[in-house]
Amino acid sequence: MTTLQLKKILINQINDIDDVAFLNEIKSIIDSKSNQQIFKLTAEQRKEINASKRDFRNGNLIAQSEIDKEVAKWANEK
Q: Could you please report the per-residue DSSP string of 13-78?
A: HHHT---HHHHHHHHHHHHHH-TT--PPPPHHHHHHHHHHHHHHHTT----HHHHHHHHHHHHHH-
Verify that 50 and 72 share a domain, yes or no: yes
Does 69 reside within a domain? yes
Average pLDDT score, the chain: 90
Q: How confident is the model at residue 57 (pLDDT cuts 50, 70, 90)?
A: very high
Verify that 10 and 28 share a domain, yes or no: yes
Does 15 reside within a domain? yes
Verify that 49 and 71 share a domain, yes or no: yes
pLDDT in tens, 4-36: 999 999 999 999 999 999 999 999 898 887 766
Does 38 reside within a domain? no
* Domains: count for the chain: 2
Verify that 72 and 53 share a domain, yes or no: yes
* pTM > 0.75: yes or no: no
Domain of residue 61: give its range: 43-77
